[in-house]
Amino acid sequence: SRQRRCFLMPASMVQCSGQCWLADLLLHWLHQVFGRSGDTKEDIRQKMCVAVVGVVELVSVLVALIYDALIMGPVNAEWLQNHRRIGICSSAVLVVANLTCMYYTGLTLAVKIFVILSWAVWILATSLWAMAGYPGWVLIILILDVSILLQKPEHAYVMRRLDCVVLALGTIHVTFFAYGEAIGIYASLASTRFSPASCWVTGMLTLVVNYYSVQGYANSARKEASALQASVFLAYKVADKLANYDLEAAEHLLQGGYSQSTGDGTEIVGPLFHLLRNLKAYRPFLPDALFKASADDMLAQIQSLTFVEELAHDTTDWDRVHKIVQRLRETEYRLTEFQEDIEASFCELRLFRVHALDQPWSSGRTAEDELHRTMGAFYSLYCFLRMDLDGQDVLAYGIAPEGSPRKAALSTDTEYRKRDALRQNFRWESTRELLLHAEILKVTSAGKVSLNHDRTVALLVLTAIHDIMKNKALLPTVQPQHAPYQGTKANEVIQDHDFALAYMLEHFPSLLPSFAGLEAAQRAPILFTTSRMNFNNGWLVQGEAPPGLLFSSFKKCIVKGRASEADISFYFVHWLTDLAGSELYQQRPWPGSEKFALKFPQHVLSAFIDSFSFVRQLAHQSEVDVMEDYLKDRWLALGPPVSLVPEGCEVASMRLALMAQGFEADAVAAFAELPEQDRACLACELARTGHSQQFSCAPAEIRNEPAGPALLIYYAPALLQNTKSVGIREALLILCGVLRAAREIFPLDKSPLGMQSHAIIRIDAIKDMMPTEIEKMSPWHLRQTSSTDAVIVQGEAIGPGEAAVECRPPTTPISGPRSLPKRPPQPMVLRSQNGARKF
């Protein structure tokens, strides 16, 4: 049973199952000895069949000889002359001959004929001479079954004629077995009488019935497997075309598959045709940038672009790009070779050298600095894709002048400790999971990590082009037919480099050769990544923003681009590599990610990486659900005492714990000890979502009467972190004063539009001050700067759109949210992705 299961396994599936380590070891060894690189799955099955039967025969011979030596006397000349032992030993010689032929020539048709005929002749010869009286038709049945297993469609005619020969030899054997005594062959059986009828019934009839039964079943199974394989192949090809939005090619494949299908083969074609009709109905809603476009038509519309002239005759070296992806996982592929290949492959990198290199770009840096940052992003990507090779060392310590990865930092003690901390404490496993979710890495059935070629090519292209529009000479002008675009009117230059790149990719994709050379499925994640998401990950990991403001634009981009979890993870991979390579390295060999090693606190970096798995849930969850899941998961990880949380204050406690970062328990305890009206103010304002949906653990009045706008206190985490645990209570009271003043300027609105609105309150002026300094410099007030913005300034509130900020605990109740009921803390259930826990 185990052997038959292994025969049906392809080469990549011959691996340990844990049921029998000895059998697993044997299968691996046989596959390594007889397997060849060009073998098909059927070749592997057939070779395993012959090899396993041969090994079993050799083991049987060895056991038989050992038994005879131990039981029937010592080994001598007389012992070796026994006919039965000679027959047994000759079978071992035949096995070795069969396996030797298969080893040197493969399991060709000639080898199959030799194997079958040699065994049939051996059975006949040994039955008549060496082992007289042995019922050899049992072995002939086995040979015929093996012959059926070794058949291929192209060899079926020859193999069936061979089976007829074996059947003829079986007939001879049975005949001699029945009449042997009469012609003197079985002299040793003189006292035994055999009935010819019994021999033919038990021998020949059994042999013939078994052969035709097994052959009929095998032919039926092969036919069914062939139809199934054809259906799977058709589905695979159609899915590949649909993934690239090539609906016409998919329809052509289905029409061919339908015309060639018979019987059950049409079952898969019908549903695929139905799916294709639905997708064709949605075709007008897909962005034109996903599909091939004529460069000539685009040039006619936009001749003034500088990079049209720069890249007019340039093309991407696609052969070299594919070579990069093929070699990225090779141990000997060094970063210096990767750099040379990247610079020679992507013609868009020349755009960093348009006009003078020392002129500042829109970022305020020079072109040379921006090119270094782009190459740093490439280097970081190189490290992440080789984490299990040398990527961890390169990211933490950099490379030596000759290009080999360093194993330790050659620097001061402090810098070494930081680099070593990055090497030891970075979330490598989480990053690996991110790459797997982004479908950039994949794990084969044998457990081997490899690259998804198409997705990796798309990520390389995005890395090459994502910052080119910081060159002011390249900024495009909005064409009248596209106006307005993201607030820019017709014939106006788009000043934002992200908007500018998105505009070019959406409306003029063929003008960027690297992007133009991609298939639609490769373009889709790039278009999503370059969308304007207004997503600030710092707002999430510090609990700074309400979910409506934090995620709404991101969610709209997901819905508009029909992005999947894989595309969201693709965005975060690009974000991570761009951040990791953002520090300048000038003329030095790349020193590793100095941003991550020297400039970024490890706990903040870890919080960023941990948040990715939650944000990608936006593909199928609401903004509020994602935010609530993240808050609860972080609360469980940070572990402040839940007994300190008053009723209705769960959301505020969780957000304040994230804002504190390092003294979470002190912040939650100080919040619980605030005067009742201040605690109620924070509990209600921090629980507003800016969304039609509310937190499930929000105060009852927020859930029963939702209203907006939700308030974002910009730099509230900085205010709390600056005071540490010593002044956290006073900082919370100041935060209450800011919220009350903001609510005077932006009163509550219970309308559907109002509850989904937000306002941003900037407290830049006080974020770095201690509470005592803020109180000493009072009065302070908020000044409205737009319909959704306000800023804190020093002085008295004297005009409309201004509200005083109280920096001391109020002595009288202030109008605003009602006080929360005061009661002993109750157990709180928090549900994370790992399940529910009750405290």
By mean pLDDT, which of 85-94, 281-290, 564-573 is the weakest? 281-290
Residue pair 712/540 in contact (Cβ under 8 Å)? The answer is no
What pLDDT band is residue 661 in, cutting at 50, 70 and 90? Answer: confident
Mean pLDDT within 705-716: 93
Q: Are 419 and 361 in contact (CB under 8 A)?
A: no
Band of residue 345 on the pLDDT scale cut at 50, 70, 90: very high
Report which of 237, 299, 250, 291 is spatially closest to residue 518, judged by C-alpha positions. Answer: 291
Give pLDDT, residue 762.
92
Over 80: is that where the pLDDT of 280 sits?
no
User: Per residue in 485-511, pLDDT tens?
Assistant: 877 888 888 888 888 888 888 888 888
pLDDT for 344: 93
pLDDT of residue 27: 78
Q: Where do we find the tokens 């808050």?
A: 631
From CA 780, how far away is CA 805, in angstroms rounded?
Answer: 5
Determine the Cα–Cα distance for residues 380 and 794; give it in Å rounded to an integer.
44
More confident residue, 516 or 586: 516
For residue 672, pLDDT beyond 80: yes
Considering only residues 221 and 632, tell me which one the structure prediction assigns the higher pLDDT.
632
Strand (E) or helix (H) holding 246: none
* CA gap 157, 135 in Å, rounded: 29
Tens-digit pLDDT profile for residues 365-400: 888 888 899 999 999 999 999 999 999 999 999 998
Q: What was the pLDDT predicted at 305? A: 53
Q: Which residue has the higher pLDDT, 137 or 541?
A: 541
Query: Torsion angle of alpha carbons 634, 638, 640, 642, nearest 10°?
Result: 40
Q: Return the structure tokens found at 622.
A: 């609401």
Alpha helices in 510-640 (DSSP H): 513-516, 520-529, 537-541, 547-561, 565-580, 594, 602-615, 623-638
In the predicted model, what is the mean pLDDT of residues 270-298?
Answer: 62
Can you tell me the mean pLDDT for 600-624? 88
pLDDT confidence of residue 830 = 44
pLDDT score of 155 more than 70: yes
In this structure, are residues 531 and 463 in contact, taking their beta carbons and an 8 Å threshold?
no
Q: What three-state secondary structure class fits 170? A: helix
Nearest to 367 by CA among 377, 380, 348, 354: 354
The runs of H, that is alpha helices, within 639-770 are: 650-660, 664-672, 676-685, 700-704, 716-723, 728-745, 752-755
DSSP string, 112-155: HHHHHHHHHHHHHHIIIIITTT--THHHHHHHHHHHHHT--GGG
Contact 275, 264 (CB under 8 A): no
Q: Hunting for tokens 């003008």 — which residue is that?
A: 511
Percent of the chain residues topping a pLDDT of 90: 31
Q: Which residue has the higher pLDDT, 185 or 126?
A: 126
Give residue 829's pLDDT.
43
- Given CA atoms 650, 656, 660, 666 in this order, what sign does their dihedral have? negative
Q: Are 806 and 737 in contact (CB under 8 A)?
A: yes
Cα separation, 319 vs 337, in Å, equals 15
What does the mean pLDDT of the chain come to? 79
Across 60-74, 179-193, 331-345, 477-491, the highest mean pLDDT is recorded for: 331-345
Pair type for strands 835-838 and 829-832 = antiparallel
CB 49 within 8 A of CB 87: no
Q: What is the pTM of this model?
A: 0.67
pLDDT band at 325 (very low <50, low <70, confident <90, very high): very high
DSSP 443: E
Looking at the DSSP bridge assignments, the partners of residue 493 are 477
Q: How far is CA 435 from the centre of its chain?
A: 5
Distance CA 609, CA 513 (A): 33
Q: Long-range contacts made by residues 334-343, C-beta under 8 angstroms, separation at least 24?
A: 334/399, 334/403, 334/404, 335/379, 335/382, 335/394, 335/399, 335/403, 335/405, 335/590, 336/399, 336/403, 337/403, 338/378, 338/379, 338/382, 339/375, 339/378, 339/379, 342/375, 342/378, 342/460, 342/464
Model confidence at 820: pLDDT above 70: no
> Is the pLDDT score of 11 beyond 50?
no
3-class DSSP state of 830: strand
Mean pLDDT lowest for which of 44-58, 283-297, 464-478, 519-533?
A: 283-297
What is the arithmetic mean of pLDDT over 23-41?
78
- Which of 118-127, 292-301, 596-605 is predicted with the least confidence, judged by mean pLDDT? 292-301
Residue with the larger pLDDT of the pair 148 and 716: 716
Q: What is the mean predicted confidence (pLDDT) over 322-330?
A: 95
815: DSSP letter: S
From CA 186, how far away is CA 176, in angstroms rounded?
9
Alpha carbons 513 and 509: distance in angstroms, whole number? 8
pLDDT of amino acid 123: 75
Angle at 256 between CA 255 and CA 260, to 5 degrees: 115
Bridge partner list, 685? none
Q: CB count, 10 Å around CB of 586?
A: 8
Instruction: Report, as an integer, the average pLDDT of 119-127.
Output: 77
Q: Cis omega before residue 484 (within 30°)?
A: yes
d(CA 478, CA 481): 8
Q: What is the dihedral of CA 90, 93, 97, 100, to 10 degrees?
A: 160
> Amino acid identity, residue 384?
F
Closest CA to 47 of 101, 116, 102, 120: 102
Contact 573, 403 (CB under 8 A): no
377, 572, 727, 738 from 423: Cα distances, Å: 18, 21, 35, 42
Q: Contact 546/589 with Cβ under 8 angstroms?
A: no
Q: What is the DSSP string of 304-327?
A: T-HHHHHSTT----HHHHHHHHHH
Tokens of 25: 């070891």
